[in-house]
Structure 1
């Protein structure tokens, strides 16, 4: 998957487009994940001395590690026996170097806030009223 990573700027452009695509469809979910990149050669593999001395040895590595940020819409092609439209699966990822994290997260927060601006707030009042009616009705029948 190392060859599939896009640049940080391209990632932000595609992420904004993914939010916009879901907004136009009227529904959809965008999954955002992040994880630390570890060396494939086993350089960061735990030794018994590291684990015995400090059980959280991997939370403070000797050299700061880059982070992989992934985004996808978790859609797939049309499923057998359903009438749903064919929605393409969109996946993207980028690698952020430790020295660029602050600037990246500032821009990341802006893009995510802009993408979530069209969300509707949940109507909590209706649920509370329904629960009160049920409780009141139960009390009357018991008494």
Structure 2
């Protein structure tokens, strides 16, 4: 990951470019993640069982937002990683713009073809139903032939 986070404007500009790259023949996924940013204060001893001060912070914590084009380790040279840190007082304005960029970018993405998966699931269900029916018939046949004296 980059040692330096982008500013919000740079992040949105590069995110827009990342979505734009998906419009062409290039296919794949775009991963968007966000989480609360905590700063490591060196090595801290293990906390007691009931002592989780991180669950109730004294002040709001910043959020880190990341985006990547999801290229694998094999294509590491073409992997794009973006990240920015959003301070608590900037969250609302950031998310308004973030939603606009994501909606505009996702409108151009090709939806995944789920018909193949549906066809496979339907065939599997049909095969399972036939197996259950044959098993039931075989079991009934065995019970009829069994002699209980």
Give the TM interval when normalised to the shorter protein: 0.5 to 0.7
The CA distance in 1 between the partners of 2:129 and 2:2, in whole Å, is 60
Alignment of 1:101-120 (within 5 A): 101-117=91-107, 118=109, 119-120=111-112
- Which residue is equivalent to 2:84? 94
Measured on the aligned residues, the alpha-carbon RMSD in Å equals 3.4
Structure 1: which 4+ aligned runs deviate by more than 4 Å? 45-48, 51-54, 76-79, 139-142
CA deviations over 1:41-62 (Å, ceiling 9, x no partner): x29x8788xx559544212211
Are positions 1:20 and 2:20 aligned together?
yes
Secondary structure at the aligned position of 1:28 is classed as coil
Corresponding position of 1:131: 124
Alignment partners' CA distance in 2, 1:38 and 1:108: 22
Q: Secondary structure at the match of 2:78?
A: coil
| Residue 75 of structure 1, aligned match among 71, 74, 82 | 71
Larger gyration radius, structure 1 or structure 2: 2
Looking at structure 2, the residues matched to 39 and 77 of structure 1 have their Cα atoms a distance apart, in angstroms, of 27
* Whole-angstrom CA distance in 2 between matches of 1:47 and 1:87: 38
TM-score by length of 1: 0.68
Cα deviations across residues 62-113 of structure 1 (Å, max 9, x unaligned)?
A: 122222211122436866xxxxxx9622112111110111221222223223
Does residue 65 (structure 1) correspond to residue 61 (structure 2)? The answer is yes
| Structure 1 unaligned regions, length at least 5 | 80-85
Cα gap change, 1:2 to 1:130, in 2 (>3 Å): closer
Q: Which residue matches 1:82?
A: none
Alpha carbons of structure 1 residues 135 and 46: separation in structure 2 relative to 1, 3 Å:
same
Number of matched pairs: 133
